[in-house]
């Protein structure tokens, strides 16, 4: 079984004030991933991409101008 990241699904924790910024950045990269807020109070978001876009998504996450923490074993 593949992990979620290789399936294109990534959960991130970030400061809640950056959720809108992350959404706008991802909108600029059309067709890479959609952003869904899981918990706005705690800054938990889900990026929904595809296996084909997961490599690009990882590069974008690593290049963000704010700190994010990847939540490898997050369960909704």
Distance in angstroms (rounded) separating the CA atoms of residues 47 and 31: 12
Query: Looking at residue 1, what is its pLDDT?
Result: 40
CATH topology of domain 9-70: Alpha-Beta Plaits (3.30.70)
Query: Looking at residue 7, what is its pLDDT?
Result: 86
The neighbour count for residue 11, using CB atoms within 10 Å, is 20
3-state secondary structure the chain: CCCCCCCCEEEEEECHHHHHHHHHHHHHCCCCCEEEEEECCCCEEEEECCCCCHHHHHHHHHCCCCCEEECCCCCC
Query: Looking at residue 4, what is its pLDDT?
Result: 61
pLDDT at 3 over 80: no
In the numeric block, which tokens belong to residue 33?
């991933």
The pLDDT tens digits of the residues spanning 14-69 come to 999 999 999 999 999 999 999 999 999 999 999 999 999 999 999 999 999 999 99
């Amino acid at each position: 079984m593949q992990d979620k990241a290789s399936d294109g699904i990534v959960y991130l924790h970030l400061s809640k004030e950056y959720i809108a910024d992350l959404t706008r950045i991802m909108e600029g990269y059309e067709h890479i991933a959609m952003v869904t807020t899981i918990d706005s109070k705690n800054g938990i978001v889900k990026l929904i991409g595809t296996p084909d876009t997961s490599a690009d998504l990882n590069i974008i996450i690593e290049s963000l101008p704010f700190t994010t923490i990847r939540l490898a074993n997050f369960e909704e």
